[in-house]
Structure 1
Amino acid sequence: MSVHDQAAAAVLSQLALAGDGAVLGLGLAYVAVRCILKFNADSAALTKIKQAPSVRVSDLRSLSSSGDDYSTTPIDQHDDGGKLVVVRGSVEPKSALEGGGNWKSLVSAGGHGVLISQESGEKGVILQRTHTCIYNEWRGFFGWTSDLRTLFARSWKEQESSTMRTVPFILVDPERWPEPSHVVVDMEGSRHPLPLTTVYHNLRPVTATPYTFLQALFGHQYPVGLLEEEKLLPVGKEVTAIGIYNMKHETPVIKSCKDLPFFLSDLTKDQMVLDLDFKTRVLFWSGIVVGSLAVGILGYAVVRNWKRWKEWRQHRERQEQNSTSGDDPNDEEPDEDNGDVPDGELCVVCLMRRRRSAFIPCGHLVCCRRCAFTVERDLLPKCPVCRQSIRGSVRIYDS
């Protein structure tokens, strides 16, 4: 770790421990609340997935004709009249319905209805191309600018660009295809992760230029490579779709449910249940542990600050009592304190008057009365010698 990184870490640690850990406690409380909210959302999704029926594509029409008898729980019913179901099927382009189930004839006729990878030549219904610029960073002679970017922003430049193309596709039973039993997959509004397969992966180095040398000299990020990837959802791949099923114009359609973390996945229903069950357990115990730490740290910070405030109040009251009782630190014998005082008896603060006050509880006799009262008036009074917190001072008289 460089000197700049160590300084940044020290500043962040001091900020986190500010107020006797109050900032750290608030941060942990925020994390605990997020864990609990995520746990509630995943628990609700787990309950929905458990109660959703797992059917084959050929059984969907019979399911819709059976009305609401397939499930007695209202959790599967939605506002648009659809039903939450889990369907396992094979991916086929929607245009294959018009070609008698033979998508190869469609490809040979011009590639209509499917997407073809430019690099690998594989066919699919969803094609995603990603270009990622890989940056390297040498701090150079003015590398402190990179530390500022690290603290306040991840990067000033967009490092990744991605494009996605989709054609209409359906799910069918792989054993019965090309029979007409199918369900249309509606991708509109879906933000769920997709079970894409990487078909092309290439990393190309970027040729250095004089401008690259200047970037390195001033500690700026400069590109060293370009990563190109192509991912697609291939035709014939068997996936699981979990979403809202209904009939639109006598066509079976399934679309994503925003309350669920899955839509199209390689996992089966049982695997989804196990995955969500594990995540909910982790989130539950994480929320309890982090929440307990947050409560403990915040409680400690509140108690410590409350005690400090009470000590400050008591200290102010003692000062007011001393001022009203006539015990003025300025009422000292000028001849005795301001005369010829040996160096070993001078006040360590003003170096003019004789040491007269000992601090409590450390007992150090290092200040005159006037400087001792000045030290006591601080918000967090500490002994000038040992830096220990003090509660007050007492005047020492020579025998």
Structure 2
Amino acid sequence: MIPVGGITCCLSAAALYLLGRSSGRDADVLKSVSRVNQLKDLAQLLDAASKVLPLVVAVSGRVGSDTPINCEYSGLRGVIVEQTAEQHFLKHNDAGSWIQDSALMLSMCKEVPWYLDDGTSRVHVVGARGATGLVLTVGSEVFEESGRSLVRGTLDYLQGLKMLGVKRIERVLPTGTPLTVVGEAVKDDIGSIRIQRPHKGPFYVSDKTIDQLIANLGKWSRLYKYASMGFTVFGIYLLAKHAVQYIMERRRHWEMRKRVLAAAAKKAGQEEGGLNGKAENRSESTNKDRMMPDLCVICLEQEYNSVFVPCGHMCCCMACSSHLTNCPLCRRRIDKVVKTFRH
């Protein structure tokens, strides 16, 4: 049998180690990025670093937009708005009870061009939805009860459903939110500066400062590595336990085989001493049959004296047969055990 538990633990340990290594690498990169204290200095920094582009920087400011979105339910003004609608209902299962479930009906997202503003200048942010660390604020969460007609409700009931209502959630990145963005700084031909995902390196959009991001990444890196060590030790323990059990099982098998062969040799010697010349007249097949002991295949101590019905095999003693439900030879189910007597 394959040691699934041990292999799973070792694979989990490898995955956690890679996650910890990735977090640690991102923390080291964030320590080395250029920090821009005022956005007005970013243009000069880009001009001075034209030979070392792409330039990954960390900037901070408040979210703003020339064309913000007016949220439908919360009334907030934002630059990224996500709306989801979930249908909640009761479902009749096979056990005869009703369980609550839900299904996604609607999921849509709107985003308008936006920028960070710290009072000294503006920097546009592109592709923030795919960045790490972006958390949208729950602006509104409304549950609308089901208003289905009697006919529709009856049809749903016949199908094993009871509609409860629709839950609508609106998440938004409001204007005025302070953010820290780590990404590649690019200056176009008209002098406009934007921050975007770098070809290589981290891309963060977070409400935490750069120092908080570095501290969190370092903490998660350590946690991942400790968890990886724990899974590794436990996985090795499971694999070693399985290996020891396999070795012990093989050892028991060989010991059992030696006992059977020893019993066969002993019985063959006793029969040869009593039969004398009569053994010479028996066939070769009969001699081979006598070499095999009439011992129970379970305990290897008592002679077998029971017949399994309906398969007809006879290989166990009555004491061992009482604990069996299937024949050890053909695996067929035992309906009845008949005791035999030897003369």
TM-score normalised per structure 1: 0.61
Q: 1:358 to 1:194 in 2, by over 3 A?
A: closer
Structure 2: which 5+ runs fail to align? 275-293, 309-313, 325-343
Q: CA offsets per residue over residues 153-210 of structure 1, 9 Å max, x none?
A: xx8x84353211111111121x33xxxx221211178253533222222111224611
> What 5-or-longer segments of structure 1 have no aligned partner?
1-18, 70-76, 97-112, 147-154, 334-355, 377-381, 388-399
| Cα displacement (A) at 1:248 | 2.8
Matched, 1:199 2:139: yes
**Larger Rg, first or second structure (1 or 2):** 2
* 2:124 aligned with 1:170: no
- Tell me which amino acid in the other structure corresponds to 2:40: S
- The answer on 1:131 being equivalent to 2:85 is yes
Task: Note closer, same or farther for the CA distance 1:375–1:222 as it changes in structure 2 (3 Å cut).
Answer: farther
Whether 1:301 aligns to 2:283 is no
Residue aligned with 2:130, SS: coil
Q: Deviations over 1:11-47 (max 9, x none)?
A: xxxxxxxx4x822222222221211111111111111
* Residue 35 of structure 2: aligned partner: 54
SS for the counterpart of 2:3 is helix
1:117 aligns with 2:71: yes
Determine the structure 2 residue equivalent to 1:86: 58
Higher strand share: 2
Tell me if structure 2 keeps the 8 A contact 1:127–1:166.
yes
Match of 1:210 in 2: 154
User: How many angstroms apart in 1 are the aligned matches of 2:20 and 2:259?
Assistant: 53
User: 1:223–1:313: structure 2 CA closer, same or farther, 3 Å change rule?
Assistant: farther
1:245 to 153, 176, 185: 185
2:3 to 11, 15, 22: 22
Match of 2:290 in 1: none
User: Do the aligned residues in 2 keep the contact of 1:257 with 1:263 (CA within 8 Å)?
Assistant: no
Is 1:159–2:104 an aligned residue pair? yes
**AA aligned opposite 2:108:** T
Which residue in 1 is equivalent to 2:176? 236
Paired with 1:137 and 1:195, the residues of 2 have a C-alpha distance of 33
The 3 A distance-change label for structure 1 pair 213 and 237 is same
> Which residue pairs with 2:125 in the alignment?
185
Counterparts of 1:324 and 1:207, CA distance in 2: 86
User: Structure 2 vs 1, CA of residues 214 and 27 (structure 1 numbering), >3 Å: closer, same or farther?
Assistant: farther
Q: How many residues align?
A: 291
1:63 aligns with 2:45: yes
1:225: which partner in 2? 165
Change (3 A) 1:370 1:158: closer
Alignment match, 1:397? none
SS of residue in 2 equivalent to 1:227:
strand
Q: Is the 8 A contact 2:49 2:55 kept in 1?
A: no
TM-score (structure 2 length as normaliser): 0.70
Q: Compare 183-192 and 36-45 and name the one that shifted more.
A: 183-192
Does the CA-based 8 Å contact 2:182-2:202 persist in structure 1?
Answer: no
State the superposition RMSD in angstroms. 4.0
Q: CA 1:59 to 1:385, structure 2 compared with 1: closer, same or farther past 3 Å?
A: farther
The 1:318/1:241 distance shift into structure 2, 3 A limit, reads: same
Q: Which residue, 185, 194, 209 being the options, matches 1:268?
A: 209
Counterpart of 1:119 in 2: which secondary structure?
coil
2:322 and 2:220 map into 1 onto residues whose CA distance is 55
Aligned partners of 2:69 and 2:256: how far apart in 1? 79
User: Is the 8 Å Cα contact of residues 357 and 368 (structure 1) preserved in structure 2?
Assistant: no
Partner of 2:14: 33
Residues 300-350 of structure 1 deviation map (CA, whole Å, 9 limit, x = unaligned): 11221132134324534654666677749x99x9xxxxxxxxxxxxxxxxx
Question: Structure 2 CA distance, aligned partners of 1:246 and 1:311?
Answer: 72
Aligned-partner Cα distance in 2 for 1:257–1:375: 74
Contact 1:357 1:369 in 2 (8 A): no
Q: Specify the alignment match of 1:12 in structure 2.
A: none
Identity over aligned pairs, percent? 20
